[in-house]
Amino acid sequence: MSIAQLPLVSVIMPAYNVDAYIVQAINSVLAQTYSAFELLIADDHSSDNTASCIERFSDHRIIYFKNEKNLGYAGNMNALFKASKGEYLVIQDADDYSTPTRLQVLVDFLQRQSSIDMVGSSYIKVNAEGKEEKVFVSDDQEAINKAFETLSDPLPVLNGSVMFRRKIIQEGFFFRPLLYVNRSQDDDWLFRISEKFNLSNVKDCLYYYRYNPASMTMNLSAINYYSLFSGDYVRFLKKNRMEMGIDLLMKERTKEIDAFFEQKKKEITADQPAYLELYIAHKYLALNNRVQTIQWLFKALLKNPGDGFIWKKIGFVLLNKKS
């Protein structure tokens, strides 16, 4: 079969401040054994050298967009979905990378399994030090469906690993804005897709997922109680749909959503009023940022001045310069 006869795959790569990783991500796509693809990259108004990294490449398969303003992950993904032309779409996050056979294996699977609309894969977690850990996911259809219904965390399909049929976006399944939070739109998207389409996995480890629990790809200065509960929030909305066929966000019942967040905050601060401040302090400590760690520990102290743990933590950080 000639390249012209092969189904076109649109590789979707949203990019924001990833100059340390994006060259490897792009190269991993260009090195695919399956050649009938377009690579759509959108730089979401990065403030680092992401744009210049992308502009080094001159491959005719790359279609490059440079957003004039920041759209956020969800908005950037939706713009790329709309610009794509492929029969199949595959997500490639700009800080991750793929094995050379990834597209071929996933295309072959969807060609064979006409009843499956989206397929993910097992993957390899890569931590900040470059250590690798293989994560094998289930390819059992019943188990996957059950995991979505029981609000599994993590979900049985990794968002970055998936390839899916164009009909999913043709039927309007885009990322949606989530009231109060700018995280977990990918889980919300997968939950909603699982309610109408058939999802599966292949056992092969085809995707390298860069995992840094210290930063969790978050802007730490933007963390608030809403963002802490984003995973719970999308599962709360999923439960709404299971019970009512529609969720509170769709019905614009904001007071009930407010009540959900207030209850979660009350639960988490009952024993530790400075929970948020300590959470952020520990994130900065994991990133070896002692200055910000101390600043957030003192903010925690202002909320809970009698807490001996906070005092001990401040002493530990001050006395351990390598922290």
Cα 79 to Cα 248: distance, rounded to the nearest angstrom: 26
In three state form, how does the secondary structure of 83-129 look?
A: HCCCCEEEECCCCCEECCCHHHHHHHHHHHCCCCCEEEEEEEEECCC
| Among 105-119, 142-156, 209-223, 300-314, the least confident range | 209-223
Domain holding 315, by residue range, is 220-319
Contacts of 180 (CB under 8 A, 6+ apart): 226, 233, 257, 261
User: Does 303 reside within a domain?
Assistant: yes
**Same domain assignment for residues 129 and 30:** yes
Single residue among 177, 210, 243 that ends a domain in this structure:
210
* pLDDT confidence bin for 3, thresholds 50/70/90: low
Peptide bond into 213 cis (omega under 30): no
**CATH number of the domain to which 7 belongs:** 3.90.550.10
Q: State whether 270 and 202 are in the same domain.
A: no
| Residue 135 and residue 232 in one domain | no
Residues 298 and 188 in one domain: no
pLDDT digits (tens, 9 = 90+) for 19-58: 999 999 999 999 999 999 999 999 999 999 999 999 999 9
Residues 227 and 195 in one domain: no
Using pLDDT thresholds of 50, 70 and 90, give the confidence band for residue 217: very low
Q: Are residues 112 and 246 in the same domain?
A: no
Percentage of the residues of the chain whose pLDDT score is greater than 90:
88
213 compared with 188, residue with greater pLDDT? 188
pTM of the model: 0.92
- Total domains in the fold of the chain: 2
Domain check: are 13 and 126 in the same one?
yes
Same domain, 56 and 87: yes
**Structure confidence at residue 129 (pLDDT):** 86
Lowest average pLDDT, out of 142-151, 211-220, 281-290, 314-323, goes to 211-220
The mean pLDDT of the chain is: 93
- Residue 17 and residue 164 in one domain: yes
Single out the residue in 154, 179, 210 at which a domain terminates: 210
Pick from 173, 188, 210: which residue ends a domain?
210
Mean pLDDT of 160-183: 96
Q: Output the CA torsion sign for 84, 44, 210, 232.
A: negative
Note the pLDDT of residue 6: 83
Q: Do both 312 and 187 map to the same domain?
A: no
pLDDT digits over 54-87, tens only? 999 999 999 999 999 999 999 999 999 999 999 9
| Domain membership flag for residue 288 | yes
Closest CA to 138 of 128, 150, 146, 130: 146
For the segment 108-127, what is each residue's pLDDT rounded down to a tens digit? 999 999 999 999 999 999 98
Residues 241, 134 share a domain = no
Segment 196-214 mean pLDDT = 90
Question: Do residues 13 and 159 share a domain?
Answer: yes
